[in-house]
Amino acid sequence: MFRDLPALQKIIRQLQKVPYLASKNVYRVALYFLQEKNSDIELLFDSILDAKKVIKNCSTCFNLTENNNTCSICSQNIRDKSVICVVETWYDLNAIERAGGFNGVYHVLGGALCPLEGISADDLNIESLFKRIDNNVSEIIFATNSTPEGEATASYISSKVEQLNLNVKISRLASGVPIGSSLEYMDRVTIYKALSGRRPF
Ligand SMILES: [Zn+2]
C-alpha cells in the first residue's frame, strides 16, 4: 500500500511498533501528523523525550517518580510501611489509590508470570520485594489481577514469602473482583470493597 509514498510508509512502519495503537488507526495517526503544524509535533516529541529523562521507577516500590529516587507514596510519613500491597502495574496502583482507603505502601511487579510469553520471575520486580520483607512488615496484600497469570504470580510469591519464616500475614483481595479482570478497569467501590474485605491467602 502507498508504494508511491515511501515517506508515509516510513511513518506507518514506526507507528506499527507502538503497542495499544489499533492497526486501523495507524493511518489516521500518520495523516494527523502530516497535517499538524511542525511546532505541535515538536512539542509532542519533546515532551516524550523530556519525560523519559526525569521519570523513573521508585527505588523501593517501582512506582513512577519524577526527579526523585523515592516516589510520592513511599516518601509520605503517614503511610503504613508495614503493609505492602503487591500490584502488577502502575495502572493498578493508581486504581487502588483512586478508590481510596488504603494507607499502606505498594510494590509494583511490572507484570505477571507468564511462561508462554517467556515472562519469568527474573523479569519482574520480585527479588526486590523479598528484600523489603523483614520483621517490620506485618502484611502482604496480593492485588494482582484475577487472571491465571495474576493468580499464579500471587501463589509463587506467597509460597516464597512463607519460606522466609517471618511473622507476615498474607492476604488476597476479596472476591468481588470479577474473574479475569484487570484492576485498572474496575470501579472505585468494587476495589474499595475488595481491599477492605481481603481474605487470608
Ligand atoms: Zn515508592
Q: Which CATH number is 71-200 given?
A: 3.40.1360.10
| Cβ neighbours for 89, distance < 8 A, ≥ 6 positions apart | 108, 109, 110, 111, 184
Domain with CATH 3.40.1360.10 in the chain: 71-200
Supply φ then ψ for residue 140, to 5 degrees: -115, 125
pTM value is 0.83
Q: Which CATH number is 6-55 given?
A: 1.10.8.420
- Dist. CA 60 → ligand 1 center (Å): 5
- Dist. CA 198 → ligand 1 center (Å): 22
- Dist. CA 138 → ligand 1 center (Å): 18
- Dist. CA 1 → ligand 1 center (Å): 47
- Dist. CA 68 → ligand 1 center (Å): 10
Domain with CATH 1.10.8.420 in the chain: 6-55
pLDDT tens for the chain, 201 residues: list them: 778 999 999 999 999 999 888 888 999 999 999 999 999 999 999 999 999 999 999 999 999 999 889 999 999 999 999 999 999 999 999 999 999 889 999 999 999 999 889 999 999 999 999 999 999 999 999 999 888 999 999 999 999 999 988 889 999 987 655 666 677 777 777 787 777 778 787
Radius of gyration of the chain (CA): 21
Helices 188-196 & 90-99 angle (0-180, nearest 10): 90
